[in-house]
Chains A and B, each alone.
Chain A
Amino acid sequence: MPNSLAIGFLPLVDAALPILALEHGFAEDEGLNLRLVRDLSWATVLDRLLYGHTDAAHMVAPLTIATTLGRGRPAQPLSVPFVLGLNGNAITFRPDLAQQIVGQGQLGDPATVGAKLAAIVKRSPRKLRFGVVHRYSSHNYMLRYWLAGSGIRPDTDVEFTTVAPPFCADALEAGEVDAICVGEPWNSVAVERGVGQIVLATAQVWRRGVEKVLALRQPVLEDKRPQVRALIRALVRAGRHFVDPENWDANAEILARPAYLDGNPTLIRRAISDRLLLRQGGDLVHFPDFMFQYREAANFPWVSQAEWLYTQMVRWDGLPYSPEDAALAARVFRPDVYRSALLGTGEPLPGASSKVEGSLKRRTAVTAQQGAMVLERNQFFDGIAFDPADLAGYIERQT
């Protein structure tokens, strides 16, 4: 069927928009017949996308750039016409370790927690071990950004290991890792089991950090432009539905089904509503914008986001800076396609396609192509902004 689209995903709360677009009939209203394909590792999601089992996929943003640049496998250009959400991850420590670096019942301040952690790392007889979900994940980059900004050298002072999201709590329990950085509901699962305490949300490291994206092979995007535009409109509607408190209970129930997250609706509802239980027996903490799936054109694929991810790939893969690679990476994010899907609808569209990331110290009105756009405060925890006009300089200043 020409209007059928298969979308791959991993069981995570931020796979919500494609799931809700299907379940609430938003895709059908756009004439699309969606089929969702659930997997348990990003490698499988990527293979299915590259070999045409799926047309599009829920994907960790850096993996789209890595695939385009041929990191670890032959290069294949991917395109991202839509961002499925910002942040929504947390850093969860072994409870005994957590209690040494953060007070009970509160999320820590990233700089303070980082300084305390650095002291522990220095006197620890063995290297602390951090679990991330994938080398090319925002989790890895956010965690490393925070550690490095706290004076901890990620590749020498501590160890990193890969843990699939559904097994993060197991890894904490078995002592295979001291901390994990993972999306929901997997931090909360660790808390429920008493094997972890949530210490930071990644939104504290970068207030508006790009997280999962909708990825397609570039030739598929070109072949299926009308369907992709229809899908974007359906996903935007799903985003609006997702953030409306009226729908939280129902959406948590849908996401919890065996075909999707196969999880606990109570934990999923917490994440959707930006609420976190930091430790077993504690109180729920409300952290506004823990997940960010709709407002402020959160789904707009800013070219500067792709470029920031490239700077981190250079940093942590030890690559030489290459203007050609930077340009290839920048072209992965496709604001032009996003705009073409939503032009003439009621959705606000920003005037620019690139911005200085992490530079907004306060609520700011920005120029819009359509509608009104106000962006809230958006900074990195260390206050350093990323200006894509000075990409080479930014890379040079990274340690």
Chain B
Amino acid sequence: MRIAIVDESASRAAVIHEGLAELEDCDIFVVTERRGLVARIGEIEPDIVLLDLGNPSRDVLEEYFAVSRALDRPIAMFVDESDDEAASASIDAGVSSYVVDGLAAHRIRPILDLAVKRFNAFSRLQTDLAEAKGKLAERESIDRAKRILMESRGFSEPQAYAELRKTAMNQGRRIVDIAEAVITARQLMGGM
């Protein structure tokens, strides 16, 4: 079976590719370039096309699938009504899949399940990364705000932190919000 993975994010495509590599009897092709996409798909002659849900080329590709005589077997969007749960899970994970006409559902299902798993794993990785980045940025803001308070009001470091914390509690806001307000105030005063 020939599987084409179309994704403008090369790293996500790699994660999915890796996940599908364990399937037997599958040739996997990764396409990350938007230019020449349709021609490339024509060369690959895939049985299944996996595409990230938000891919900007989807309308172009769907039209190609609808009219192309280059492909011997027409490709349709995989929305097997008997398997709506699978379709729904794949849309939720951010995968859209197109399958050649006549390919049996039991052959599609494991591929789709794997793709969904890998997509979910990838987006978890991204969330973790974003969170870690966010935490780091928060830490930096608090440090900068502490330094401002230490310089402008002669606080020690623990005093500066205590001041931020007290203000946050009084206003029912997060410490990082107060810290950012302090930084903004200093920028407005032309101090930084």
The answer to whether A135 touches B54 (Cβ under 8 A) is no
Query: Are A44 and B58 touching (Cβ within 8 A)?
Result: yes
Q: Is the CB of A162 within 8 A of B63?
A: yes
Mask for B71-102, Cβ within 8 A of A = 1, else 0? 00000110101000001100110001000000
Tell whether, in the assembled complex, residue A44 and residue B53 are in contact, meaning their CB atoms are under 8 Å apart: yes
Whether, in the assembled complex, B56 has its beta carbon less than 8 Å from a beta carbon of chain A, the answer is yes
Q: Nearest Cβ in chain B — how far from A182, in angstroms? A: 12
Taking a contact as CB atoms under 8 Å apart, the answer to whether A43 and B59 are in contact is yes
A35 to B144, CA, bound (A): 34
Query: What is the CB-to-nearest-CB distance from B113 to chain A, in angstroms, rounded to a whole number?
Result: 17
Which of chain A's residues have a CB closer than 8 A to the CB of B58?
41, 43-44
Q: Which residues of B contact A51 (CB under 8 A)?
A: 87-88, 91-92
> What separation, in Å, do the CA atoms of A162 and B57 have in the docked complex?
9
The reply to whether B77 and A164 form a contact with Cβ atoms under 8 Å apart is no
Closest to A163 in B: B60
CB distance B55 to A41 under 8 Å?
Answer: yes
B14 proximal to A (CB < 8 A): no
Residue of A nearest to B34 (CB): A167
Q: Majority SS of interface residues in chain A?
A: loop
Residues of the B chain whose Cβ atoms lie less than 8 Å from the Cβ of A43: 58-59, 62, 96
Query: Quick check: is A72 within 8 A (CB to CB) of the other chain?
Result: yes
A53 touches B56 (CB 8 A): no
Q: Does B66 contact A (CB under 8 A)?
A: yes
Cβ–Cβ < 8 Å partners of B34 in chain A: 167
Interface size class of B (residues with CB under 8 A): 20 to 34
Whose C-beta in chain A lies nearest to the C-beta of B60?
A: A162
Q: Which residues from chain B contact A74 at a C-beta distance below 8 Å?
A: 79, 81
Q: Which residues, 32 to 54 on A, are CB-close (under 8 Å) to B?
A: 39-44, 47-48, 51, 53
A73 CB within 8 Å of chain B: yes
Task: Assess whether A269 is interfacial by the CB under 8 Å rule.
Answer: no
Interface centre among A40, A43, A133, A161 (most CB of B within 10 A): A43
B81 and A164 form a contact (CB under 8 A): no
Structural contact, A135 and B66, CB atoms closer than 8 A: yes
Question: Which A residues are in CB contact (< 8 Å) with B88?
Answer: 51
List residues 96-123 of chain B with CB under 8 A from any CB of chain A. Answer: 96
Picked from B54, B79, B91, B92, the residue with its CB within 8 Å of the CB of A39 is B54
Tell me whether B59 and A134 are in contact (CB under 8 A). yes
Q: Which residues of A contact B55 (CB under 8 A)?
A: 40-41, 44
Q: How far is the CA of A41 from the CA of B62 in the complex (A)?
A: 11
Complex CA gap A266/B58 in Å reads 29
A133-B59 in contact given A40-B54, A47-B91, A72-B66 (Cβ < 8 Å): yes
A114 proximal to B (CB < 8 A): no
Give Cα A163–Cα B53 distance, bound, in whole angstroms: 17
Taking the closest CB of chain A, its distance from the CB of B57, in whole angstroms, is 7
Task: Tell me if A166 is interfacial: C-beta within 8 Å of chain B.
Answer: yes
Minimal Cβ-Cβ distance residue in B for A171 = B60
Interchain CB contact (< 8 A) of B59 among A48, A73, A164: A164
Leading 3 A-B pairs by shortest Cβ distance = A40-B56, A162-B63, A43-B58
Residues of B at the A interface (CB closer than 8 Å) are 34, 53-60, 62-64, 66, 76-77, 79, 81, 87-88, 91-92, 96
Known: A48-B91, A51-B87. 14 other contacts (CB 8 A): A41-B54, A41-B59, A43-B58, A44-B54, A44-B55, A44-B58, A47-B91, A53-B92, A72-B76, A72-B77, A73-B79, A133-B59, A164-B57, A164-B60
* 28 A-B pairs whose Cβ atoms sit less than 8 Å apart in the complex: A39-B54, A40-B54, A40-B56, A41-B55, A41-B57, A41-B59, A41-B60, A42-B59, A43-B62, A44-B53, A47-B91, A47-B96, A48-B91, A51-B87, A51-B91, A51-B92, A72-B76, A72-B77, A73-B76, A73-B77, A134-B59, A162-B59, A162-B60, A162-B62, A162-B64, A163-B60, A167-B34, A167-B56
